[in-house]
Structure 1
């Protein structure tokens, strides 16, 4: 009797009535599963899905084999939920322009175990060309990888191009002119190989306002997905590039940059600006980097923090001593060494200045403290502050100058024995203690401390005699909220000097899994001509700053381009 066959065209297989698989001529299948779909969601070219081919799997395990003798294998388990979501086995961590070897083992719903090997050929990395490029993609120079850290993967939140003629410009201020392709958002392994990147061609558009902006503030959340925001929108996606959601900012709010975080209540805290803000003098302006909104899982705004009404937007103690060559993404290599000048009648917009409608606050990170339902905010142009849901300031970590009515909230520095340090107007005598200056990422750690990336511009409320006297550092503090004191317990970077100095951007995060501080000096070498900038990924023991575990130097693609942040990525969380 003739055997009836139903053809599965997409998988290239046919299944007979007795369950035996046949191969359709011209469409051979690599294994017992279906076809391999490379870049399945069209935005992450170094990912794939091995289709189930009609089979039902209970679980799976994936190993993307390392390239060459020293190549890094990427291993992760896949839960049934991911198998059902993607209708296949998700593959993350492929090499570009390479015949990848991928080993998969899986358990069928019948209980039978299988093991197969797939070959997946990928295309070269596709990027966006720009003026003054010296290479088409950042190059990673691996300096050190300690034993036990070989499998580290780092997501780098990449370069930002400045305003261009196609960008949005608001009337009455705002920071909407920032419009950049996500050209270099990628994952590097400890051999300096790119193992994931976002296609730059699907996140930017000149006609649609929701497509404009700079992608910033990546976080890998508890279930392994990524959250990030971009100008006039925010989104959540998984490591294969499947968008969970993508939403416009709520009406009345504009110009996200720098930060979005998820709270334990499944809400999102987003750094935005306010459109048509009414100033005390009656003028309406678009503000700049000075609002936080909390949105629920459906996109409804449930709370707002307006820094103009919580802090003093006219405090200029730090702003007036900043180097005007690098203020956030405003990079002007010809202005190096020139200090910011405050003009009372300066135009509104993304310029360092005072009062609503100018860049007086520059919030660049948010930490949520569940212990008292408060926010810890890093304001580059003011300091780090903790604010409750009642909008009251709990404490301020910054140099004690110009705070006025909030001076009593400024933390008092103490030594290891609890004695008050001799500190005045940004300078402390006979101690290693220092405040963070123009800092980024003031975040809480799992060991009850606060870490901050102290960029170091305006240190001591002054500019040094020579630019190369500046330095950046990662720093850890213990804060006693009852007594309003602060103690410095760890620092790294001061000894690295000018070569590790980042005037803008950068990050630090405590990694509990290996008890390290993972730092990213994201704009190091920004003005070190004739070189391009050379950010550093530096992971150091949290107990011994002399013990560097991983260090990777990144050679950028063009002059005066900063990177933003970097973080460890764990594919085991994602699948």
Structure 2
């Protein structure tokens, strides 16, 4: 009797597990194995770097996501473009044409080349299907004669130090932003803009401000474009950077305040959709500080004149503050909520240092350190340092007879440790390329993963050339690309993770 009971229990357990396996798909082929999805065709995008693949099959309804990867050219060191779309994202963007068809935007293609694209289709049961396609693209010619034929001064080699990025984008004075890989190949460009100096990459799209208005344009990587405008009470046009803020993006706008032109002396935080979050009038902020500490601000704060020249800003979450770059004067940190000045770091031979209220907020730079001079592109590194491109160019708009500060013969990248408790600063490291390049205006330096860096000497060689340089974690040169420079046409550049992009 006991034997019969044991065998009965075993039989029931076998039936139970068999039912579970069938319910989970274990009793038959997976969705990926049964899939009838195929590549039915392709079409070209608005530039040769963008195409669209048409997928067909009733199994489309069982998809969870699609990943595409573009095979690198032979000899390439850059990692392949790799992008993942959840199905819901493709549906949201209108690429689900019917129940059994789906369009997949593919971007980051080589121009004038037969691109090999692999697709990984992931299904709801976690199974996958592999597809492939060959996309032949048209040639691309840069009408400005710039980005399509760089001079490779130093090619990236497999034996070089590792880089934390394989792609970067240039904020261009002649086109939309341009994505270039670390082999020097253009991998993306859009249409619809002839100036992207004020731009950033946010939410997997480029956000570009108009230099002639408050129009804000969103350039998706599939080539689609959407435009809105900022509802600023005082702003009239974008200039310089768009940088990361506390809740949104920090933009710099020219404007009119109390009937007087506010030239490059304000910061506005906006959402990526253009909604204003907060505004700082730097003329009012500086004047208030100077008056409260016994100075007459009228000799320093001069509305209607380019007295401040804000060119970059970044949010510091460690103390809820804004760090702003005044090309004419210094780097300044002020409280996000109140606007109270926290510290100032700059060349103490300049005019600003003659005012006691400003001098009282000056950080003491340790001996041997290079002070920020005409700097651009302030940011905070992964280890908490203040990073900037140190142009080395003196002030250009001080009152007649006022000291304009030092004027160097080279430019550098400087990283500082700031100690607010002692009001001191130390230049922790500096990269100056053996003092061989001078880029007096524009330019940038930004960190990538692995403490590697991208440097843009925007106006080298007497403002005729741009140099885009990649540095490994030891700050050794991994690549060095030279482009033509129509003043600030390659204004600023930053790494972009096109090898691991997810929607």
TM range (shorter): 0.7 to 0.9
CA distance in 1, matches of 2:445, 2:164: 20
When the two structures are superposed, what TM-score results if normalisation uses the length of structure 2?
A: 0.77
Match of 1:194 in 2: 186
Answering whether residue 193 of structure 2 is matched by residue 203 of structure 1, we say yes
For residue 506 of structure 1, report the CA deviation from its aligned partner: 0.9
SS of the residue 1:438 aligns to: coil
1:227 to 196, 207, 216: 207
Counterparts in 2 of 1:45 and 1:229: CA distance versus 1, 3 Å: farther
Match of 1:250 in 2: 232
Match of 2:170 in 1: 156
Match of 1:441 in 2: 377
SS of the residue 1:96 aligns to: coil
Match of 1:453 in 2: 389
CA distance in 1, matches of 2:488, 2:255: 28
For residue 136 of structure 1, report the CA deviation from its aligned partner: 7.7
CA distance in 1, matches of 2:149, 2:308: 31
More deviation in 145-154 or 486-495?
Answer: 145-154
* Matching of residues 308-347 of structure 1 within 5 Å: 308-311=283-286
Match of 1:472 in 2: 411
2:222 to 212, 232, 240: 240
* Matching of residues 166-315 of structure 1 within 5 Å: 181-182=174-175, 185-199=177-191, 202-203=192-193, 214-221=195-202, 223-231=203-211, 232=213, 233-243=215-225, 246-248=228-230, 250-265=232-247, 267-275=248-256, 277-278=257-258, 284-296=259-271, 299-311=274-286
For residue 302 of structure 1, report the CA deviation from its aligned partner: 3.3
Answering whether residue 53 of structure 2 is matched by residue 50 of structure 1, we say yes
CA distance in 1, matches of 2:251, 2:425: 27
RMSD of aligned C-alpha atoms? 3.1
Match of 1:97 in 2: 112
Match of 2:483 in 1: 555
CA distance in 1, matches of 2:226, 2:135: 26
For residue 154 of structure 1, report the CA deviation from its aligned partner: 1.4
CA distance in 2, matches of 1:112, 1:252: 55
For residue 487 of structure 1, report the CA deviation from its aligned partner: 0.9
SS of the residue 1:261 aligns to: strand
CA distance in 1, matches of 2:424, 2:413: 20
* Matching of residues 2-17 of structure 1 within 5 Å: none
Q: Which string of whole-angstrom CA distances, capped at 9 and with x for unpartnered residues, describes residues 387-430 of structure 1?
A: 1121111100112323332211111123xxxxxx4xxxxxxxxx
For residue 461 of structure 1, report the CA deviation from its aligned partner: 4.7
Counterparts in 2 of 1:386 and 1:473: CA distance versus 1, 3 Å: same
CA distance in 1, matches of 2:271, 2:190: 27
CA distance in 1, matches of 2:479, 2:126: 44
Q: Which string of whole-angstrom CA distances, capped at 9 and with x for unpartnered residues, describes residues 68-107 of structure 1?
A: 3447452424131444345233322101122211111212
Counterparts in 2 of 1:70 and 1:399: CA distance versus 1, 3 Å: closer
Q: Which has the larger strand fraction?
A: 2
Which ranges of structure 1 fall in alignment gaps of 5 or more residues?
1-18, 22-30, 161-180, 205-213, 279-283, 316-343, 345-352, 415-420, 422-430
CA contact (8 A) 1:526 1:559 kept: no
For residue 478 of structure 1, report the CA deviation from its aligned partner: 0.5
Q: Which string of whole-angstrom CA distances, capped at 9 and with x for unpartnered residues, describes residues 141-191 of structure 1?
A: 151422544971111122x3xxxxxxxxxxxxxxxxxxxx426x3122122
For residue 111 of structure 1, report the CA deviation from its aligned partner: 5.4
For residue 385 of structure 1, report the CA deviation from its aligned partner: 0.3
SS of the residue 2:240 aligns to: coil
Q: Which has the larger radius of gyration?
A: 2
Match of 2:29 in 1: none
Answering whether residue 148 of structure 2 is matched by residue 141 of structure 1, we say no
Counterparts in 2 of 1:495 and 1:151: CA distance versus 1, 3 Å: closer
Match of 2:91 in 1: 84
Match of 1:394 in 2: 342
SS of the residue 2:354 aligns to: coil
For residue 475 of structure 1, report the CA deviation from its aligned partner: 0.5
* Matching of residues 396-411 of structure 1 within 5 Å: 396-400=344-348, 401-411=353-363
CA distance in 2, matches of 1:106, 1:514: 31
Answering whether residue 328 of structure 2 is matched by residue 381 of structure 1, we say yes
CA contact (8 A) 2:155 2:183 kept: no
CA distance in 2, matches of 1:299, 1:74: 33
1:74 to 62, 77, 80: 80
Match of 2:496 in 1: 569
SS of the residue 1:308 aligns to: helix
CA distance in 1, matches of 2:263, 2:380: 25
Answering whether residue 318 of structure 2 is matched by residue 371 of structure 1, we say yes
CA distance in 2, matches of 1:449, 1:403: 27
For residue 34 of structure 1, report the CA deviation from its aligned partner: 3.9
Q: Which has the larger helix fraction?
A: 2
CA distance in 2, matches of 1:522, 1:456: 13
For residue 128 of structure 1, report the CA deviation from its aligned partner: 3.6
CA distance in 1, matches of 2:175, 2:370: 35
Q: Which string of whole-angstrom CA distances, capped at 9 and with x for unpartnered residues, describes residues 238-286 of structure 1?
A: 3323346533453531121112234353x332111222x22xxxxx322
How many residues in Structure 1 have an aligned counterpart in Structure 2? Answer: 431
2:447 to 486, 510, 514: 510
CA distance in 2, matches of 1:298, 1:69: 41
Which ranges of structure 2 fall in alignment gaps of 5 or more residues?
1-33, 96-102, 291-298, 396-402
CA distance in 2, matches of 1:151, 1:104: 23
When the two structures are superposed, what TM-score results if normalisation uses the length of structure 1?
A: 0.68
